[in-house]
Amino acid sequence: MSHRINLPVGITMGDAAGIGPEIILKCFAAGLPYPAVVYGDLGTLQRHATALSIDIPIVAIADASECPERGIGVLNRWQALPVIPYGTIHAEAGRGSYEYLCHAIDDAMAGKIRAIVTAPLHKDAMLAGGIDAPGHTEILAERTGTSDFAMMLSNPELRVILVTIHVPITAVSPLLSIDKELRTIRLAHQACLHAGIQQPRVAVAGLNPHAGENGRFGNEEALFIEPAIAAARAEGIDASGPWPGDTIFMRARKGEFDIVVAQYHDQGLIPVKYLGVEQGVNTTVGLPFIRTSVDHGTAFDIAGQGIADPTSLRVAFDTALQMTVD
């Protein structure tokens, strides 16, 4: 990724009705350590800046290479938004968040930006705008043609990667396979190497209570997880498990493991978010470029009040910088 080091970071605005515009403006106002452009709506950002009494030049630019030395350069190849009411599901806001993301992805694929940092989007708003997508991760994977990818959530105490992402709990077991487990373990190992961990210790959680307890509570561990761990170890990856889900995160937090492979969304994300979303970062592992994101949603309940905390976005920005330096 070092070939991108002199390029600006691309920040996507997310849903205009949420806190995305506010936290982006607060990060710029506080001072970012590296040049960045925003993929979003010029008028929305200008209106938010006025409401927040943030006096920063916000200008439209046609290409990421036009990133201004001072102020915010805004890229938008889609239509301008109307005034969007705070905290509401709005079709144009939803469609806009998708279009800004796609624009950033295309620029990242074209080598125009160093990394992508995303503010939150709202799935119902996207659906209202004609886009039926589970979330950022799946859009990124589909548009880049990436088949081996995973969602990783991290904070200073814990790092977790998911085997399955945005699916019903009833669909988790049918989706598991030795190949899927092994690919996720490999991505976990890769993510730790990117983070500067030279000899990653990958812990794999079981799906069932007590990691199945020798088949007493389920056989997914024996059928899929154990063979995948054995295969990973044969490749030289320090993988272990399957470990019971009720203790594995505590052990990782205490330093026994560098990353936990969780079998489904809530198994992995509850422990990370319980520790606080302020320092949390969402990373899509396996893409041809670095993408990080905040560890929270659009927060419609506080949008427009000027009280949104930009810390997670700043941490995501800093993480993207760290991951793009060899």
58 and 127 co-located in one domain: yes
Question: What's the DSSP call for residue 115?
Answer: -
Any bridge partners for residue 12, and if so which?
39, 118
**Helix and strand counts by DSSP (H, E) for the chain:** 12, 12
Contact 295/302 with Cβ under 8 angstroms? Answer: no
203 and 304 co-located in one domain: no
174 and 77 co-located in one domain: no
For residue 159, being part of any structural domain is answered with yes
pLDDT at 135: 87
pLDDT at 131: 97
Q: Give 4's pLDDT tier (boundaries 50, 70, 90).
A: low
Strands (E) across the chain are located at: 9-12, 36-39, 58-60, 72-75, 116-118, 150-155, 158-162, 201-205, 238-243, 259-262, 281-285, 291-294
260 and 309 co-located in one domain: no
Contact 233/244 with Cβ under 8 angstroms? Answer: no
> For 54-68, what is the mean pLDDT?
97
User: Whole domain around residue 116: which residue ranges?
Assistant: 2-146+288-323
Percentage with pLDDT > 70 across the chain: 98
19 and 138 co-located in one domain: yes
Query: What are 174-190's pLDDT values in tens digits?
Result: 999 999 999 999 999 99
Query: What are 117-144's pLDDT values in tens digits?
Result: 999 999 999 999 999 998 898 999 999 9
pLDDT higher than threshold 90 for residue 45: yes
Look up the pTM and report it: 0.89
Residue type, 29: A
Q: Give 277's pLDDT tier (boundaries 50, 70, 90).
A: low
3-state SS, one letter per residue, for 287-298: CCCCEEEECCCC
